[in-house]
Amino acid sequence: MSQSNEKVAVTPATHPAPPARFSHGVRKGNILQVAGQVGFLPAVEGQPPTPAGPGLRAQTLQTLENVRSVLEAGGATWDDVMMLRVYLTDTGHFAELNEIYDAYFDEHLKEAPPARTTVYVGLPAGLLVEIDALAVLG
């Protein structure tokens, strides 16, 4: 992907179409914003989006992989991420999320971890976590 100042939508082939008029990611120059991703399994044409397992672990790991897919499609890696925002539906999931998060990034980061904010929100039925990311390339 070239580094122009044109704003370009980033949509991995594995992602279902967004439910409204937004992009899974947008890159302009060396900035890549990944929209909030949830734990949907890779898209299957003609089928509605399906969340990964009912539990927080499966959904968090799939959500992180969905964020990673957008990062890669936009020319970025986890080491380019400056900020992650995590949205949880249940305050009781905070400790478990941190365990999953720490283990995941122990494997996927070579540089300092990104900054992070966690907030509590309502998500569509069956979804427990949403994550967005801001990356700066080069």
CA neighbor of 64 nearest in space, from 38, 82, 90: 38
When the pLDDT of each residue in the chain is averaged and rounded to a whole number, the result is 94
What are the pLDDT digits (tens) for 95-110?
999 999 999 999 999 9
Query: What b/e sequence results for 51-83 when a residue is b if at least 16 CB atoms lie within 10 Å of its CB, and e otherwise?
Result: bbeeebbbbbbbbbbbbbbbbebbbbebebbee
Residue 45 has pLDDT above 90, yes or no: no
The predicted-structure confidence for 108-121, as pLDDT tens digits, reads as follows: 999 999 999 999 99
The Cα–Cα gap between 18 and 24 comes to 7
Tell me what the mean pLDDT of segment 1-15 comes to.
83
Measured CA to CA, the distance from residue 56 to residue 76 in angstroms comes to: 26
Predicted local distance difference test score (pLDDT) of residue 3:
56
> At a CB cut-off of 8 Å and minimum separation 6, what does 16 contact?
40, 43, 49
**Single-letter amino acid code for the residue at 72:** E
Average pLDDT for residues 52-58, to the nearest whole number?
95
